Structure 1
Amino acid sequence: MLLPFLIVGGVGLALLLVSLILGDILDHFEIGDGAISGTALAVGLVVFGAAGTLTASLGLELVWAYVLAAALAVVAYVLSVLVVRNLTRSSDGAPVSAVGLGGVARSDISPAGGEVSLDGPGELERRMAYSAEPIAEGSRVRVVEQAGSRVKVVAD
């Protein structure tokens, strides 16, 4: 009697892996303004399969295993849709300008390029940088221009 739960959970896991590797499949169909997300659907299916398997193996009647699994799957789906929507909105926001931020040269910087770590909010990684004058690794720098994610810096 666990086979339906295992099959649904397995399909959900496969869909989740595809969504993580290739991106959200259902996102391309514009269904319900993001109300249907392939990633959230996959999470719901995995939770349904796992919850059903666990409740059925605990000896509850099969009807209650389906009811509990379905309820938990709906909750997981709704929470996943909210999380996916929130993450999508935050990543689609207007980019924050790095002009004026200070940082440290993580490699030698020249007109050809280099890398810096900036001290601004949300600056967790290194950025590609360039400078009109050579700047040694480890020097403090300040951003004077930005083109996409690449920044022009001067020695601080």
Structure 2
Amino acid sequence: MELTPFIVIGGIGLLVLVISLLVGDIFDHFEIGDGAISGTALGVAAVVFGASGVLTTTAGLDLVWAYVLAGVLALLAYLLAVFFVRRLTKSSDGVPVSAIGLTGVTRSTVSPAGGEVSLDGPHEVERRFAFADDTIAEGVRIRVVEHTGTRVKVVAD
């Protein structure tokens, strides 16, 4: 009976952690505290709370001290997880690398309405949607002159 709260909280934490890893951070959509609350970090903290509570209780520590130690370790785990989540988020902020100046080849006819190109660049592994002021036939060498979102504006090279 002494282990039940630790097991339940640890299990809920594991569920929150798995959901956050599979579908993204569940608290990102609520704008709470400018990202101070992270589902991933809460999941990590709850798992650490549950695991450390079970370990300290089975090691024979008094129940009060098991809760205190589990709470302190969970808080430290939460803060550490928030730090790493923020650091990873800043390093992969989703801003595309600028493609201006890259060259490539048209993979379909490119017109003002659109088309596809393959670019020669270190971060370019697939085709990109492109547009041009004038129609450019398929297979023509091009150069990127503008980068808007994931689309690029190209001219014949």
Measured against the shorter chain, the TM-score band is: 0.5 to 0.7
Per the alignment, residue 34 of structure 1 pairs with 35
CA distance in 2, matches of 1:144, 1:61: 68
Q: Which amino acid aligns with 2:115?
A: G
Indicate yes or no: 2:129 matched with 1:126.
no
Q: Secondary structure at the match of 2:98?
A: coil
What is the aligned-residue identity percentage? 47
CA distance in 1, matches of 2:62, 2:120: 57
Per the alignment, residue 149 of structure 1 pairs with 150
CA distance in 1, matches of 2:62, 2:81: 26
Q: Which has the larger radius of gyration?
A: 2
**TM-score normalised per structure 1:** 0.68
**TM-score normalised per structure 2:** 0.68
Residues 48, 73 of structure 2: 8 Å contact kept: yes
Residues 25, 38 of structure 2: 8 Å contact kept: no
Q: Which amino acid aligns with 1:116?
A: S
Query: Which sits farther off after the overlay, 89-98 or 145-154?
Result: 89-98
Relative to 1, partners in 2 of residues 1:54 and 1:88: Cα closer, same or farther, differing over 3 Å?
A: same
Superposition RMSD in Å = 3.4
Q: Which amino acid aligns with 1:129?
A: F
Unaligned runs of 5+ in 1: none
Per the alignment, residue 52 of structure 2 pairs with 51
Deviations 1:83-118 (A, max 9, x none): 23234444558654321134x55x823215235355
Q: Which amino acid aligns with 1:109?
A: S
Counterparts of 1:78-89 in structure 2 under 5 Å?
Answer: 78-89=79-90
Q: Secondary structure at the match of 2:67?
A: helix
